[in-house]
Structure 1
Amino acid sequence: MKKVSAYAPASIGNVSLGFDVLGAALEPIDGTSLGDEVIVEQAGAFSLTVSGPFAHKLPADPDTNIVTRCYHYFCDALVKKGVEAPVVALTLNKNLPIGSGLGSSASSIVAAFHALNVYVDSVFDEDTLLTMMGALEGQISGSIHYDNVAPCYQGGMTLMTGAPSPVTVKLPVIEDWYWVACYSGISVSTSAARDILPKTVPVPTALTFGRQLGVFVHALHAGDATMAASVMQDVIAEPYRKSLLPGFDEARAYSMTNGALAFGISGSGPTVFAVCNDKQQAQQIAGWLDANYIQNDDGFSHVCRIPAQGAVAKS
């Protein structure tokens, strides 16, 4: 019987200075699987089974699960292309916490679409799949944005173009950097985190945002790690969203005092990230965040790199 599985990694949306237009995939250096997996198998009737450490956080009704919605959206797209939609059984291994700021919904969406596409011999190209992924992500967050689905699917650090094709471009990464990601254990709704933001941005703030993003992209291409780190401040969302994150200011202060080059909120939070160019410093910061930023038993920290490859499928 035909069977395909796909793994999609966690991701950092915004990366502080790139609100809704910049994202990066994450891969723990200790080999931990920090991402969701979807398995597609031939079946006589559609079904969805959910397992994994965070399965209990999802709605009990499989019809409301985003992976089920991905399947129906994918089948509708196949029919429009004149391709017969497959009847399959899906399994979601939910390894990422909900509302964590690690691209949890994006990981499920990317794994589902990637597995389904490979199952039907890659009917859809990358940009088409990304557009589909963005549409499903928008159903959850309330607006279409690619800063999680793009790096999750493509790997690396991605910049959104705003064009139908290519949807994204890949940016160089600073190979010496370690990324400490710490999930506090609480949940922050993406839509709630968007609602807390002001509806307009002052001109000086917009100018700072544009300057920082431009300098950052230039610095990555130039391989100038010092310049890249110097502009990694969030002037759009962090001043408002940090009120949703208990202990954020203390975590930032400790990290920046102990070797971090930059510190920020991953996506909508509550996960925070610190950028370091020294592995030992990164591990020290991760240990402190474990002891002081985590709120409950669901929390965790990982020292990560940005992987060149995103979602991976196998059959």
Structure 2
Amino acid sequence: MTITAYAPASIGNLSLGYDVLGAAIEPIDGAVLGDVVEINRAEQFSLTIAGPFAHKLPADENANIVTHCYEHFIEAMVKYGQPTHPVALTLQKNLPIGSGLGSSASSIVAALHALNVYFEHPFTKNELLHMMGELEGQISGSVHYDNVAPCYLGGITLMTGQKAPLTVSLPAINSWYWVVCYSGITVSTAQARDILPASVPLSTGLTFGRQLGVFVHALHTQDETLAGVVMNDVIAEPYRKALLPGFDEARSYCIDAGALAFGISGSGPTVFAVCQKLQQARDMAAWLDKNYIQNSDGFSHVCRIPAKGVK
């Protein structure tokens, strides 16, 4: 039996929801923007890596996060008395590393979902999410779910801070187009966290809480204008934008061109713009292609938020 899992890219934080909001994204033109993991039975474990960004990963399979996913999953299976056997995994690495598009989350979600399906669903969605967060923490230095949750479940997810349920789903505004542009440079999550202050002023905390509450309300009432107005990052963007060449110019252009919101996707360097019209989104993507991308690894896509995550 062969199982193949595709896990989409994601936008962590959505500007106003540092570490508590995330959204899956999917290009409207059908382009593949997410990692793929294939699993087959084998006599011994192996990992094969392919894809446009395979050369950016460690050559040693034991250093790859997909291998760690396999080891973590099998340990859990043994702990609960479930039968196991070796498998051969193939990772199609389609997302750039350190891009702010949930690259590690995509590999983790695809791998653990494929393993769970292959071994006939021994773990619930909530149990798998816990595993995914733990594996993500190995890379970023802290357990967080704002990429793995939307990548796994789809849509927009809000982290609860509880053991169960870990997340709740929020209604997306389906008419929105999300322009994402990866500049081609690398920003590690750990580096982007280190640049942040250890604490923020009370006024900033109050603004953060107010914006998040208003945004959740606006999604439930489908108030596009109100949702766009509060998508302003008061926690991370003021510091992280220093890591992103051309960020202020890109923001100014997109807002002047009619974007409802503009921000950093996760830790960056990918940026996103929220648009109400398709042509507007395509024009912004074209401008970002010419003015924000730094090298040949960069790209941009016009996306929607898919209701389904991993497939």
Answer whether TM exceeds 0.5 for this pair.
yes
Partners of 1:101 and 1:207 in 2: CA distance: 26
Q: Deviations over 1:197-244 (max 9, x none)?
A: 000111000000000000000000011111100100000000000000
Tell me which residue corresponds to 2:68.
Answer: 69
What pairs up with 1:105-184 in 2 under 5 angstroms? 105-184=104-183
What pairs up with 1:82-97 in 2 under 5 angstroms? 82-97=81-96
Aligned partner of residue 163 in structure 2, secondary structure: coil
Number of residue-to-residue matches in the alignment: 311
Tell me which residue corresponds to 2:77.
Answer: 78
Tell me which residue corresponds to 1:219.
Answer: 218
* 1:7 partnered with 2:6: yes
What pairs up with 1:247-258 in 2 under 5 angstroms? 247-258=246-257
Aligned partner of residue 122 in structure 1, secondary structure: coil
Cα distance, 1:84 vs structure 2: 1.8
Cα distance, 1:259 vs structure 2: 1.2
* 1:264 partnered with 2:263: yes
Cα distance, 1:86 vs structure 2: 2.3
Give the alignment's TM-score, normalised by structure 2. Answer: 1.00
Cα distance, 1:175 vs structure 2: 1.1
Aligned partner of residue 91 in structure 1, secondary structure: strand
Runs of 5+ in structure 2 lacking a partner? none
Partners of 1:42 and 1:85 in 2: CA distance: 11
Partners of 1:258 and 1:86 in 2: CA distance: 55
Q: Which amino acid aligns with 2:222?
A: G
Tell me which residue corresponds to 2:201.
Answer: 202
Q: Which 4+ residue blocks in structure 1 deviate beyond 2 angstroms?
A: none
Runs of 5+ in structure 1 lacking a partner? none
Partners of 2:224 and 2:133 in 1: CA distance: 30
Cα distance, 1:85 vs structure 2: 2.0
Give the alignment's TM-score, normalised by structure 1. Answer: 0.98
What pairs up with 1:11-90 in 2 under 5 angstroms? 11-90=10-89
Q: Deviations over 1:122-167 (max 9, x none)?
A: 1100000000000000000000000000000000000000111111
Cα distance, 1:3 vs structure 2: 1.1
Q: Deviations over 1:39-60 (max 9, x none)?
A: 0100001000000000000000
Partners of 1:85 and 1:92 in 2: CA distance: 21
Partners of 2:272 and 2:71 in 1: CA distance: 35
Q: Which amino acid aligns with 1:250?
A: E
Q: Which amino acid aligns with 2:35?
A: D
Partners of 1:242 and 1:113 in 2: CA distance: 33
What pairs up with 1:275-286 in 2 under 5 angstroms? 275-286=274-285
Partners of 1:175 and 1:104 in 2: CA distance: 24
The percentage of counterpart residues that share the same residue type is 71
Aligned partner of residue 178 in structure 2, secondary structure: strand
Aligned partner of residue 284 in structure 2, secondary structure: helix
Partners of 1:201 and 1:210 in 2: CA distance: 13
Partners of 2:4 and 2:28 in 1: CA distance: 23
Cα distance, 1:273 vs structure 2: 0.1
Partners of 2:31 and 2:165 in 1: CA distance: 31
Partners of 1:176 and 1:149 in 2: CA distance: 24
Tell me which residue corresponds to 1:235.
Answer: 234
Partners of 1:95 and 1:192 in 2: CA distance: 23
The farther-off stretch of 78-87 and 251-260 is 78-87
Q: Deviations over 1:143-197 (max 9, x none)?
A: 0000000000000000000111111000001111000000000000100000000
Q: Which amino acid aligns with 1:268?
A: S
- Please tell me the root mean square deviation across aligned C-alpha atoms, in Å: 0.4
Q: Which amino acid aligns with 1:7?
A: Y
Cα distance, 1:115 vs structure 2: 0.2
Aligned partner of residue 211 in structure 1, secondary structure: helix
Partners of 1:22 and 1:189 in 2: CA distance: 19
Partners of 2:246 and 2:294 in 1: CA distance: 9
Q: Deviations over 1:232-276 (max 9, x none)?
A: 000000000000000000000000000100000000000000000
